[in-house]
Amino acid sequence: MSVQGSLQIVCAKSFMEIKIRHLWIIILISCGARYAESQTTAIAYPGDNSTVSFLIPQGGLGTGSSFYFVTPSGVIAFILTASDVFIATDPYKDRVIFEGSYSSRNITFVLKNITRSDAGHYNCSTAGSTSHIPNCGLKLIVIGEPTKPVISLQSTPVVGRNVTMTCSSTSTTLPADHGLTFTYTWKIDGVNINSPGGASLTVLVESHDPQDITCHVTEDEGLGGDSDVLMITPDYPPYNASISSTSVQVKEADVVPQVTCVSTCRPACSYSWKQGSQTVVTGQVLSLGAAIRTMAGSYVCTATNTYGITQSPAVSLDVQYKPSAVLMANGQSNAAGVDERGSVVLSCAVDSNPFSSISIMNGTIRLNHVTEAATASFNWTGADCLDGGVYTCLARNIVGEMTASVTVNIKCRYLDETLKVSGLITKIFTHLLIYSTATYATWK
**Gap between the Cα atoms of 216 and 415, Å rounded:** 116
pLDDT at site 201: 94
What CATH fold (topology level) applies to the domain 320-413?
Answer: Immunoglobulin-like (2.60.40)
Mean pLDDT over all residues of the chain? Answer: 85
C-alpha–C-alpha distance, residues 334 and 389, integer Å: 12
At 129-156, the pLDDT tens digits run 678 888 899 999 999 999 999 999 999 9
pLDDT at 196: 81
Euclidean distance between CA atoms 433 and 444, whole angstroms? 16
Name every residue whose Cβ is closer than 8 Å to that of residue 13 and which is 6 or more positions away in sequence. Answer: 37, 38
Using a pLDDT cut of 70, give the percent of the chain over it.
84
Q: Does the CA dihedral 33-35-39-43 come out positive or negative?
A: positive
Q: What residues contact residue 426 under an 8 Å CB cut-off, 6+ apart? A: none
Phi-psi region of 21 (alpha: psi -120 to 50; beta: other; left: phi over 0): left
Give the span between the Cα atoms of 369 and 2, in whole angstroms.
114
Measured CA to CA, the distance from residue 138 to residue 228 in angstroms comes to: 37
The per-residue pLDDT for range 276-302, each reduced to its tens digit, is: 999 999 999 999 999 999 999 999 999
Per-residue pLDDT reduced to its tens digit, 70-88? 999 999 999 999 999 999 9
Mean pLDDT of 349-358: 97
pLDDT digits (tens, 9 = 90+) for 240-277: 999 999 999 999 999 999 999 999 999 999 999 999 99
Q: Which CATH number applies to 7-142: 2.40.50.100, 1.10.1020.10, 2.60.120.200, 2.60.40.10?
A: 2.60.40.10
Give yes or no for a contact between 230 and 211, defined as CB atoms under 8 angstroms apart.
no
Query: Is residue 328 classed as helix, strand or coil in its secondary structure?
Result: strand
Distance from C-alpha of 50 to C-alpha of 21, rounded to nearest angstrom: 11
- Residue scoring higher pLDDT (152 or 417): 152
Grade residue 60 by pLDDT with cuts at 50, 70 and 90.
Answer: confident
**Considering only the top CATH level, what class is 239-318?**
mainly beta
Phi, psi of 420, rounded to the nearest 5 degrees: -65, -45
Q: How confident is the model at residue 194 (pLDDT cuts 50, 70, 90)?
A: confident
The four Cα atoms 181, 170, 234, 270 give a dihedral, to 10 degrees, of -140
Strand-pairing partners, residue 106, are 55, 101
Rounded to an integer, what distance in angstroms lies between the CA atom of residue 76 and that of residue 96?
Answer: 12
End-to-end alpha carbon distance in the chain: 183
Write the DSSP string, 57-125.
PTT-SPTT--EEEE-TTS-EEEEE-TT--EEE-TTTTTTEEE--BTTTTEEEEEE-S--GGG-EEEEEE
Over residues 89-98, the pLDDT tens digits come to 988 999 999 9
> Band of the pLDDT at 27, cuts 50, 70, 90?
very low
* Pick among 1.20.58.220, 1.10.40.30, 2.40.170.20, 2.60.40.10: CATH of 150-232: 2.60.40.10
Q: Quick check: 292 and 328 in contact, CB under 8 A?
A: no
CA 338 and chain centroid, separation: 75
Closest CA to 404 of 346, 443, 354, 365: 346
Give the torsion sign (CA, 218, 219, 222, 225).
negative
**Burial class for 138, CB neighbours closer than 10 Å (0-12, 13-18, 19+):** buried
Residue 393 predicted with pLDDT over 90: yes
Mean pLDDT of 424-441: 54
Residue 168: closest CA among 210, 252, 227:
227
- Name the phi and psi angles at 387, rounded to 5: -80, -10
pLDDT band at 127 (very low <50, low <70, confident <90, very high): confident
Quick one: pLDDT at residue 2? 23
pLDDT band at 222 (very low <50, low <70, confident <90, very high): confident
Residue 141 region, left (φ>0) first, then alpha (ψ -120 to 50), else beta? beta
Ranges for all domains in the chain classified under CATH 2.60.40.10? 7-142, 150-232, 239-318, 320-413
